[in-house]
Amino acid sequence: MNKSVYIHYLSLVTPLGNTVEQHLEAFKTGTSGIRMTEHAGFQGTRLPLAKRTEITANRYDNLLREALENVHITLTGKTAVIVSSTKGNLDLLPGDTFSSTHAIINQFFPEAPVVIISNACISGVIAINTAADYLLSDTYDQVLVIGIDAVSEFVSYGFQSLFALSGEACKPFDKNRNGTTLGEGCGIVLVSNQKLHDHAVVYKGGSSSNDANHISGPSRTGEGLVRSIEKTFKRSGLNASDIDFISAHGTATVFNDEMESIAFGRTQLNEVPLNSMKGYFGHTLGAAGILETIMSIVSMEENLLFPNIGFSETGTSVPLNIIQKLESKELKTVLKTASGFGGGNASLILQKEG
């Protein structure tokens, strides 16, 4: 890439707080946002959920508003907004689940065109990749990328029907993992051709790849994830030996984490320190890529590796270097990956400048 693309975090709202400082504190102390929740599942069953308890109604719209209210930045130049969300506001069914998204963003950024990406759990990573494309083609000078999904009966019942939920807080990559835990949140980053402050990181490249295998199950061979990582290396001019930390997807389902371990093994990344943040946030679907990118940037700023909550014993056929305790490490280059329903896989690389 001939031009520089910078990523800055602007806002982060989850059960762990509504400031980046609160999240840093939670990650340093290994505090999870997941709580056992009564009557959350089908027929009143209890479920562990990472739910922002401050919000009591209209969860999606209120999460979006709270995150936007925390953006304190004056935007100049050609600006667009990209929203990454799998489901939008499900309270609006049987009507248009994305109509409130447009209306709320227009209140905050009346001039900016709004583009919505809904590509399952890889939406957040491809939203950042798409924002970078807009900058590289000179279509826009900057793009606000918003990742959001709210906890809902709809999604909880659906994951229950697939037997994909854990009975206790999820345990990414652990031997005893047995499903994911759902969560909610909204994160906002600014992807810009200008560096606005010292904590911006450089976007080096990204890509996506489909498994071409199954609509709801991950590939046994990690094929799509391998191809995406290799394409991202090629586009960014980097390779496995450059990567200091991986923010993996790690949903804590048996098959997903196994697939990721195989893919990281095939790409010579199995010894790189790695975490899944699902133990903090739960699986926030369309928000996940953005929330996890924000905390990866915080990792880089602080030169800290955050522990993978829920992991105690290797449980994948290719052993990975799972981060188990808070550790200091100079972090220059970070790989973020995501995988999801529809066979999608995506990745991107962030780097400190200089």
- Within 249-349, residue ranges assigned H as helices are 254-266, 278-281, 288-302
Closest to other proteins by CB, 177 or 227: 227
Closest to other proteins by CB, 17 or 205: 205
Stretch that binds other proteins, among 12-20, 28-36, 132-140, 273-281 (CB under 8 A): 132-140
222 binds other proteins (CB under 8 A): no
215 binds other proteins (CB under 8 A): yes
Closest to other proteins by CB, 235 or 266: 235
Residue with tokens 């709801």: 216
Using CB under 8 A, which of 343, 348, 351, 352 touches other proteins?
343
Please say whether the dihedral angle defined by the alpha carbons of residues 264, 122, 304 and 5, taken in this order, is positive or negative.
positive
Closest to other proteins by CB, 2 or 29: 2
CA dist., res. 317 & res. 319, Å (int): 6
CA dist., res. 281 & res. 277, Å (int): 6
Count of residues that interact with other proteins, criterion CB under 8 A: 51
Whether 164 and 99 have beta carbons less than 8 Å apart is answered as: no
Question: How does DSSP classify residue 285?
Answer: G
What secondary structure, in 3-state letters, does 36-52 show?
Answer: EECCCCHHHCCEEEECC
35 binds other proteins (CB under 8 A): no
Closest to other proteins by CB, 199 or 235: 235
Cα Rg of the chain, angstroms: 18
Cβ-proximal residues to 100 (8 Å cutoff; 6+ apart), any chain = 60, 61, 64, 88, 89, 92
Residue with tokens 């229950």: 160
Stretch that binds other proteins, among 32-40, 64-72, 133-141, 170-178 (CB under 8 A): 133-141
Beta carbon of residue 17, minimum distance to other proteins (angstroms, whole number): 29
Closest to other proteins by CB, 80 or 305: 80
Which residues of the shown chain bind other proteins in the complex (CB under 8 A)?
A: 42, 86-88, 90, 93-98, 102, 115-120, 126, 130, 133-134, 136-137, 139, 153-154, 157-162, 207-216, 223-224, 227, 235, 341-344
